[in-house]
Structure 1
Amino acid sequence: MKIYHYTKCNRLDSIFNDGFIATEMKRTLNRAPKFTDNVWFTEKLQYPKTALPLLSMFTETQLMLHVLQKHVHVDLDKIGAIFGSFYRFGFDSTETRFKKWWYSDERVVIREQADWICMESVANKVGDDVRAFWIAEADVLLENFSLEEHVDGGWKTILSNTSLSNLSSKERDVIEKLKEVSYQKCIEFDIPIFEPLPIAA
């Protein structure tokens, strides 16, 4: 089964420069409290409501709106036309670096905490489904991955069966173009540009 890490255009530059998807505490721009330090994935084929960027000009990006009302449409293409496209990295769930969140030791540690119970409740109310979540305990190297972009209401494959350690010239060109677009969006909207992180031993 394929699992996905959903992300935004402005994140691609740092992800590709790092060579991995970093755990959440290393690259967060969100001031919300963190209870874990994992890389998060989902089996769901839709962009998670809990991962939407909060953008004042788009009311549908407000998480509480989705808690209070069902079936609020989020037009990723409309938002992406301004702030940059939405993307998802795909991986095979059978790889040993991934584990199902619901059965993980990490969840056992915090599942009785009131704040975490509330967070999982919100995720379920907005349709993200906690039981569809997967995690990686450590940074996820960009090996054996696919990358898709949300275009015209659906997901278009940009890279498939790709590994940074063994790129073709065509794949390298695609990545360089994505990094440039990402970098320019960071400049345009005054988003911090991260220096590459060292790859963990």
Structure 2
Amino acid sequence: TYPEYYKYYGQREFTWNKISQKNRNPLLFDYPGADGMKTGYTKDAGYGLVGSAIRDGRRLVLVVAGARSLDERRLEAQKILDWGFKQFRPIEIYGANDRVGRARVWGGEAHWVDLVTPKAIRLMLSPTEQQKVTVDLHYTGPLLAPVKAGAEAGSIQFNLEGRTVAEFPIETANEIASVSSMWLKAWDSLLYMIFGG
């Protein structure tokens, strides 16, 4: 979030009013792709760092807290980033316009409409997490005809160990026109009142 601020986080040095200040983030000077963010120190918490780096279009953000020295903070941050870039790869779960489910349409020329992902869905997952991730589909129903193609119809959630780690919109794949027959409209309305969405 707030990518516009990385131009500030990643500055190695800043001069204002003829006074120069060097950035204290060690990653900016010796870790390829590092571009942020903030260092800190307190007597109780020790040395800390919120860092970030980009490699092959992937951004990782890390937190180091409780380091006993500047060197330990730097080395631990580098180890965490190296591990993260090695272990976590973007996995394409669904491509753009992949069908993920279908929803009941009431009062339409067709009774069902496919639900699709408007864009490709990629998640950063470790090999272990790839085996554990679960998917929940939530659609905003009932869908009443006419239904437009590309209308937002709900969301697809990805969960790990009981918590949602990502959520993306889903939309209708095609248009469903209203039925023209009054008898069919009445019949579908009756079914809707009995069975609901």
Question: Do the two structures share a fold, i.e. TM-score over 0.5?
Answer: no
Rg larger in 1 or in 2? Answer: 2
Greater fraction of residues in strand = 2
Q: Give the TM-score band, short-chain normalised.
A: under 0.3
Q: TM-score, normalised by structure 1?
A: 0.21
- Structure 2 length normalisation: TM-score? 0.21
Q: Which has the higher contact order (CA 8 A, sep 6+)?
A: 1
